[in-house]
Amino acid sequence: MSESRPGPADLFEDVRAGGLLAGGQPVIVMLSGGRDSVCLLDLAARIAGPECVRALHVNYGLREGADQDEALCREMCEEMGVALEVVRAGAPPEVGNIQAWARELRYSAARDLAGATADIATGHTATDQVETILYRLAAAPSRRALLGMVDRSGPLIRPLLPHTREATAAHCRARSLAWREDPSNDSDRYARGRVRHDLVPALRRIHPAAEANVLALAEILRGEGEVLDELVDGVLGEADGVALEVLRGLPAPLARLVVQRLADRASGRPAPGVSRRLADILGLRDTGIAHLDLPSGVRATADRGRLTFSARARLDSAE
């Protein structure tokens, strides 16, 4: 990815031309105080106008420099004329994934702040995209793992996604914008850190264009995914189920996609692992009613040969 190093003016023009940030469009900028979010805040204030931008900073209180991060965000927003909302997190859960807890907390706060009118902008970059794809490939084998993040998903936008972490740092230096480094980014404690510091450099040693090739592959697969989605649409349309007889007559790869689409709809979010149980699903009987509990809190139900899916947690609480 090193062959593309836009200067500050180029980055500004590229992001403005991308259209995710626009003059007069309200936007919530998720501001951690790191280089990417600082770069994003600067661009959002200049493109949308500071009066249209609100920054959100979450102080988790999990490390020694958390208050200094907050202080930097306050100072920066005051200088730019941007309103700042600070959320102070309570105690993290004693068990479970702390990163998942923190992510849900900040996105929930952002949704509350955005309401129905504002977009929510994050500072994800092309560098983050590579790390995300490699992590998902290792942790959750599926076609979706290789697609990576998209630049818009509902109100969530990622204006910096085509640009590298090096480009955002160069922008901040040229604009004399300070940022804070999170020591956990250099730690191998979390899987994402191991991808960043071990896996990506190893791939770069194998081939200098490794990161660019990962991004190119994701772009190709997203295009092919649109074709596959059309095939699934041809089988399902807007139906909430499918006849087992029809499903058994499909090529196995298409049947897996149909099953996954139905499971995702029932769950209200991606339901990884369901399509890998295709053989068990196809084995459900065509007479009477049969249930099959599946990964990701999903239940398959065959009712006289018609297959539907439900979110198991909701169904269980009603029983």
Dump pLDDT digits (tens) for 135-150: 988 887 677 778 899 9
Angstrom distances, CA of residue 8 to CA of 59, 143, 231: 29, 35, 43
Classify 252 as helix, strand or coil. helix
Tell me the C-alpha distance between 35 and 160, whole Å.
Answer: 12
What would the pLDDT profile of 156-169 be if each residue is shown by its tens digit?
999 999 999 999 99
> Which contiguous run of DSSP H or E holds residue 270?
none
Place of tokens 């029809």: 246
Q: What is the pLDDT along the chain (319 residues), one digit of tens a residue?
A: 544 455 666 899 999 999 999 999 999 999 999 999 999 999 999 999 999 999 999 998 877 889 999 999 999 999 999 999 999 987 777 777 788 888 999 999 999 999 999 999 999 999 999 999 999 888 876 777 788 999 999 999 999 999 999 999 999 999 999 999 877 776 677 788 899 999 999 999 999 999 999 999 999 999 999 999 999 999 998 899 999 999 999 999 999 999 999 999 999 988 888 999 999 999 999 999 999 999 989 999 999 999 999 997 644 433 3
Q: Are 53 and 73 in contact (CB under 8 A)?
A: no
Count Cα atoms within 13 angstroms, Cβ side, for 72.
20
- CA 111, 112, 117, 119 dihedral sign is negative
Tell me the C-alpha distance between 89 and 85, whole Å.
Answer: 13
> Any bridge partners for residue 157, and if so which?
121, 152
Residue 269 has phi, psi (to 5 degrees) of: -165, 170
For 282-307, b where at least 16 C-beta lie within 10 A, e where not — what string?
bebeeeeeeebebebbbbbbbeeebb
Which structure tokens are listed for 264?
A: 């995702």
